[in-house]
Every structure is written in structure tokens, then in C-alpha cells.
Amino acid sequence: MSTTAKVLAIVLAGGEGSRLSPLTQERSKPSVPFGGRYRIVDFVLSNFINSHVYSIYLLVQYKSQSLIEHVRKGWGLSPQITGHFVTVVPPQMRGGADWFQGTSDAVYQNLNLIHKHRPDLVAVFGADHIYRMDLRPMISFHQKMRADVSVASLPVPLTEVSAFGIIETDEKGRISRFQEKPETAKPMPGNKNRAFASMGNYLFNRDALVDALEEAHRRGEKDFGKDVIPRLLGDKDVYAYDFSSNQVPGVKAYEEHAYWRDVGSIRAYWHAHQDLLGSQPRFDLFNPFWPIRSSHYDGPTARIITGRVEDSSIGAGAIIFGGHIKKSIVRREVVIEDDVELEGCIIMDYVMIKRGSRLRNVIVDRYNIIDENTQIGFDRKADEANYYVDEASDLVVVSKGRRHLDPVY
């Protein structure tokens, strides 16, 4: 990375996350809790900070209060150092009465921030994914290729291309075609079994971005992946950066190389949590060389009075009085009474599960009390009558509760 390159990060964190409902009934997708102590947004923010990119604007929109509070508590950078900030930006409606209409429109409505900082490069990243990424190799690639735009790209099997925006490139990585969720695709250079998929993370030269957004506004275009990037292929140097080549310090040999997950559905969200478990997890959250940061917690460590815990993660302040917990994520200040059985569950903060309850493949959102001898995940009809059941996975979701005198978010 050039020592003279000034990078401004713009994180698109306004996603409604309808496919993650009911977890997104009262919060935006980037604000959804993940793992034992994080929110989804913490991953992209940590990647920027660990990559020494400290000027970060977070564009929010839908149900943003939870996200705003989380960033305020956990992401205050030094105000004494110019250019060190994580600032939340709601829709300003500077050009009219419209909210953000799409990804490119969101950045267009905040062009004043780019003009104010006058960076050399602008990194426009999403806030919806679980991954580690060092941005510096992508910047070096971008500068080496003299690119106007670089698109972070993940090699995916040809059998899965219909789930992604697919990129075709030449041998040097210059993009010649962009297709949104095609049935078939041309293999990437050097690998006949895989194709490049866009990760929705872009690196722009400042002037190229400003020109592209102004032209998009004139044309009525709203989205980077659907509109702006395909249009730029004809007259700009647009390159695919191969994410599989990205090397992050501290990643262990047993982890899945170039781990990246879009946790935009209940099924994907649950499976990504399972990837955190085991003696050799696909994605190991313990990496002191590339930490995932989050809000600070002043409470105590977890206490396990008795019981059996297998292949699970227990969050700070949790109290386990007994029972059997297997392949589950138990978050902060959860209380689990005696004779409770959990298997394949995600139990979010401030939940109480009373004695005798049995839960299998269940996500319990915050502030819930599960009454004695409750069974969830064993009878489809009973579950549908009382909870949300995801059609694609049969996972059961217990929506956010309403306990009195708990934190507002």
C-alpha cells in the first residue's frame, strides 16, 4: 500500500434484512447479534481498523437506533487524531425528500463527505457479511493495475453461480462482464471449476467514483452491482481482486481459507454460527493478530454451577445451573436453569430458560423467558402455532421479548 494513499471508508449499513425476519423486526441487519458477543457490523469495522483505515462513515437507514447505540458504545476512535472516526450517517435528504434508494444512491446522497475529505481512494463496503479481510493487499493490487475500480471477488463453484453476481475477467483480472445470478457462467482464469462472484465490496479512485455517481444520478440508476459497475466496464479500468489470495495474520491452518459468509437468511445465519464451534472451527473467532472488536462489557465472566456443556460457546455473565448444552451459542447474561437441554441453539442476551425445557435448532432472540418444561423444535405444528418457523431450514425463531426495565435496545 502506498504510504501516500489516503483512504476513506464508506460502509453501507442500511440493509433492511427482510430474509432475516423476525430477527430484523426491530433492528437492521448489520445490528443483528452474532457469535457470543458481536454484531454483524463489527466484522467490516474490525477489518478496516486492523487494515489501518481509520476514516469510516457508516450509512444507516432502516431501524437504525440499535446500530447507532452499538457504534456509540463500542466504536469511538481517538478524537485527538485527525481522520480517526467511525461516524454514523442517517439519510440527510440533501437533494430532496427521498431516503436512500439503493447502494449507489446512498453514496451519491453523501458526496459532500467525499468532497470534504478529498481521499485518494474510497472503499465502499457492505456491513452484512462475516469474514476477515486485510484491505491493504487489495489497495496494492488496485494501484499496481492502475485500476479505476476494483471489486473484491470470491471464487465460487460453478454449481452455485445462480446465487451470486458473477464476474468474467481476462488473465490479468480485468472485468469484461458482470451477470446478476446467472444459471451458468464462464470459469475464472486458471480454475475451470469456479467463477468469480462479487462480494459487494468496491475500491474506487475518488474521481472515478464521483463521476460514476453523478452519471448514475442523471440516468436514474440506484445500485452499484446492478447499474454502476456493469456500465463502467466499457470505458473504465475495472478489475477483480481475488479474495482467496488475501492473507490475514493469525489465521490457523485448520480454518477455511478465505472464509466469507453472507448471513442474509435464517439458514445461513445458523450455519455460520455452527462454523464457530468445534476444536478446529471453520472460522475461529480467537485471533489476537486480527481481533474482531465490539462494544465493551463490564459484567462478570460466565458461571457454570453444574451440568454438561459440549462444543458450545458461553457468553460473559451467563449462569448455567445445570442441564445439557450441545453445539450451541449462549450469549451474554443468559440464565439456564437445571434440567434444560439445548442442541444446535443460538440463545441471545438476557434470556432465561427455565427448568425442564427442551430446545433443538432454535434461535431465541433477546429478553425472552422460556417457561418451565417448554419444548421447541420437536413438533412442527406446535412450533408454527407459537413461533416463527423458517421454511428453508425448519429452524425455529423466538422473536424478541419485552421484559420490563431492560436496556432499550
Please tell me the predicted confidence (pLDDT) of residue 406: 46
Longest alpha-carbon distance in the chain: 66
Contacts of 379 (CB under 8 A, 6+ apart): none
Please tell me the predicted confidence (pLDDT) of residue 288: 97
Question: Could you give the CA distance from residue 305 to residue 324 in angstroms, rounded to a whole number?
Answer: 12
Which parts are annotated binding residues? 165, 180-181, 198
Reply yes or no: is the peptide bond before residue 22 cis, omega within 30 of 0.
yes
Question: Could you give the CA distance from residue 162 to residue 144 in angstroms, rounded to a whole number?
Answer: 31
Question: Could you give the CA distance from residue 409 to residue 291 in angstroms, rounded to a whole number?
Answer: 25
Please tell me the predicted confidence (pLDDT) of residue 14: 82
Homologous superfamily in CATH for domain 298-398: Hexapeptide repeat proteins (2.160.10.10)
Q: Element (H or E) spanning 91, and its range?
A: none
Sequence ranges of the domains in the chain: 7-262, 298-398
How are beta strands 194-205 and 121-126 bridged, if at all?
Answer: antiparallel
Residue 342, strand partner residues: 325, 359
Please tell me the predicted confidence (pLDDT) of residue 409: 32
Please write the tens of the pLDDT for every residue from 196-242.
Answer: 999 999 999 999 999 999 999 999 998 898 899 999 998 899 999 99
Question: Could you give the CA distance from residue 104 to residue 330 in angstroms, rounded to a whole number?
Answer: 37
3-state SS assignment for residue 396: strand
Residue with cell 481459507: 257
**Grid cell locating 250:** 493469525
Q: Element (H or E) spanning 34, and its range?
A: strand 33-34
Residue with cell 493487499: 137
Per-residue pLDDT of the chain (409 residues; tens, 9 = 90+): 444 789 999 999 987 778 899 999 989 999 999 999 999 999 999 999 999 999 999 999 888 888 899 998 888 877 778 789 999 998 876 555 567 788 998 999 999 999 999 999 999 999 999 999 999 999 999 999 999 999 999 999 999 999 899 999 999 999 999 988 899 999 999 899 999 999 999 999 999 999 999 999 999 998 898 899 999 998 899 999 999 999 999 999 999 999 999 999 999 999 999 999 999 999 999 999 999 999 888 889 999 999 999 999 999 999 999 999 999 999 999 999 999 999 999 999 999 999 999 999 999 999 999 999 999 999 999 999 999 999 999 999 999 997 644 443 3
DSSP string, 273-300: HHTT-SSS-SS-S--TTSPPP-----SP
Closest C-alpha among 314, 262, 301, 336 to residue 35:
314
196-233-43 Cα angle (round to 5):
45
Q: Do 7-262 and 298-398 have matching folds?
A: no
Residue with cell 480485468: 174
Cβ pair 397, 387 in contact under 8 A: yes
Please tell me the predicted confidence (pLDDT) of residue 180: 86
Cβ pair 125, 15 in contact under 8 A: no
Q: Would you tell me which CATH number, out of the four given (3.90.550.10, 3.30.2130.10, 3.30.750.80, 2.20.25.90), belongs to the domain 7-262?
A: 3.90.550.10
Question: Could you give the CA distance from residue 197 to residue 98 in angstroms, rounded to a whole number?
Answer: 31
Question: Could you give the CA distance from residue 331 to residue 317 in angstroms, rounded to a whole number?
Answer: 9
Contacts of 334 (CB under 8 A, 6+ apart): 315, 318, 319, 347, 348, 349, 350, 351, 352, 353
CA dihedral sign, ordered 292, 295, 298, 302: negative
Which parts are annotated binding residues for alpha-D-glucose 1-phosphate? 165, 180-181, 198
Q: Count other C-beta atoms under 10 Å from residue 11's C-beta.
A: 24
Question: Could you give the CA distance from residue 152 to residue 138 in angstroms, rounded to a whole number?
Answer: 8
Q: Count other C-beta atoms under 10 Å from residue 85's C-beta.
A: 15
Question: Could you give the CA distance from residue 198 to residue 103 in angstroms, rounded to a whole number?
Answer: 14
Using only C-alpha atoms, what is the Rg of the chain? 22
